[in-house]
Each structure stands twice: as structure tokens, then as C-alpha cells.
Structure 1
Amino acid sequence: MPGITLTLSGYKDQKLTRECVHLATQITCNILKKNSFETMVIVRHVDNDDWFIDGKSLAEWGKNSFRLEVTVVDETCSKDQKTAYQKAIYNAMEQIIGNLHPQSNVHIIDCKAASYGYTGITQEYRYQHKDEFY
């Protein structure tokens, strides 16, 4: 179950938010080989005046930004998948949001299977009992 936290600069825009969520989910499922029905996305918005890079706000830079953090179970994604994911997410956000500051970023968080789960069941337990769940 990938958990995604997507932080977008600027004011809340429902159309932009839905587009970003759709693409983040799609790219996560396609490249990292995850299931969309298990993919959760939380979106946050931060005003450009409150987002700083090198001591200057995005408003001062005249740029937009995003930060996407995705939590996955350790050892379920290869280095090649992670590399492709980084590039695909950045390129997709550049197309949707535009005018990105180059410090916009993607953080892939590898979490131990025994430390991550949903419905009160760890991913390790699901793996050990996969016949019961799949």
C-alpha cells in the first residue's frame, strides 16, 4: 500500500489537485507496480510566501514547487524503478503545474514490512499470509 503525501505550492485549486492526484496514482501504479485501490494520497497546499528555498520564498523566486513523498515497503521496488519514478513524477508535475523551481522533489521512503500496513495488519503479516488476502 503506497501512501503518498503531495505538497503543492500556491492556492488550493480543485482541478489542479485532482489532476496531480490522478497522475501521481497512475505513475505509482505503473512504474512501482502498485495497486490503485491500495494507493492513498493526501494533498497539502502551502502558500508561495510560506515555501522557502535558499532563504527566498517561492513568491520571490517567481516559481512553483511540489514535494511528493511516497512510502513503500522496503525491497519491493528496484533502483531502476525508483529512478524512473523520480523522473516520471517530476516531468508530470512540470507539465501540470509548470514553472517549477528545480528543488521540487520526490522522496521515496522505504519502510520495513513489519512497520507498515493498513486495516491494523502489517505488510509483513500480509506477505506471510498472502493466501488469505489474495
Structure 2
Amino acid sequence: MPIIEVKFAAAPGRRVARREIAGTASALAADILGKSPAVTAVVVEEIAAEDWFCGGHALAESGLASFWLSIRITEGTNTRAETAEFIAATFAAMGRLLGPLHEESYVHVMEARGFAYGYGGRTQDERAMAARMKAPVPA
């Protein structure tokens, strides 16, 4: 159910497959946040190092990589500890893929209320209610 957006600028001379970035982001969301890869969408966009500025300087000048990853999830589905682990693991994984990272590389976990977020024309609240209705009643 999450949508993940990744913008990145790789270190000079480093070629990175968008598919590898998308797969890594989806795997981290599954392994740490418990999000199903079957309903995870990922958008990956490469930005030229000359067009990415940190602290007023283009990444091309520093020789470093950077990224911005945002993930939208349903509010209350993850703990603070899980979110912190996801942020740390994402930073480490992107460093392995993109090369040495500028410190101003960001991960943003955005929680949306279940009534205001969904896919396939249904809100997350509607999906949760439908799942509860199908669940067996405890004896």
C-alpha cells in the first residue's frame, strides 16, 4: 500500500540501475515496516549532480551522492522505533548503492490518516473494516 518516491544523484562515475533502487526501497519497507511488496509502488528519478545543491554547493563540486526518499504509509501502522530503523537502514543502503553520501540526504516517512489515503478507489479505513468483517470471531 505504500508509495515510495526516490530522487537521487549518484557519486561521479557511479552507474546505478533504477530497478535496484526501487527493489531496495521496497525490500526495506517490507522487512522493517512490514509493508507488502505486492501493493508497494516506487517511483525513481535521477537528478544530475550539477542540479542538486546541498549547503549552496552542487554535488558535482563535492564528489558526493545524495538522495531524497519519501514513503507514505497509513498513520499508526508503525512504531517510532521501526520508523527510526527504517531511516537508518535506508541511509546505509543508499550509501552502498550510490556511493559516499552527502549528509544532507533525507528519508521522510509520512503518515496519512486511513480515511484520507488509499489505492484502487478504496480508503485504507475501508480496507481495514472489510478485513475485520472477514476475520473469524474468537470462540
Please give the TM-score of this superposition, normalised by the length of structure 1.
0.91
* Residue ranges of structure 2 left out of the alignment (5+ in a row): none
- Aligned equivalent of 1:2: 2
Residue 130 of structure 1, CA deviation: 1.4
Moved over 4 A (4+): 131-134
Residue 132 of structure 1, CA deviation: 6.7
Residue 29 of structure 1, CA deviation: 0.4
Backbone CA RMSD of aligned residues: 2.0
- Aligned equivalent of 1:119: 120
Between 1:113-122 and 1:15-24, the stretch displaced more is 15-24
For residues 39-78 of structure 1, what are the structure 2 equivalents within 5 Å? Answer: 39-78=40-79
Fraction of identical pairs, as percent: 30
- Aligned equivalent of 2:25: 24
Distance 1:26 1:133, change over 3 A: farther
Cα distance in 2 for residues equivalent to 1:14 and 1:125: 42
Aligned length: 133
Distance 1:133 1:28, change over 3 A: farther
Please give the TM-score of this superposition, normalised by the length of structure 2.
0.88
Residue 16 of structure 1, CA deviation: 2.4
- Aligned equivalent of 1:82: 83
Cα distance in 1 for residues equivalent to 2:116 and 2:15: 33
Distance 1:18 1:107, change over 3 A: same
Query: Is the 1:16–1:96 contact (alpha carbons within 8 Å) kept by the matching residues of 2?
Result: no
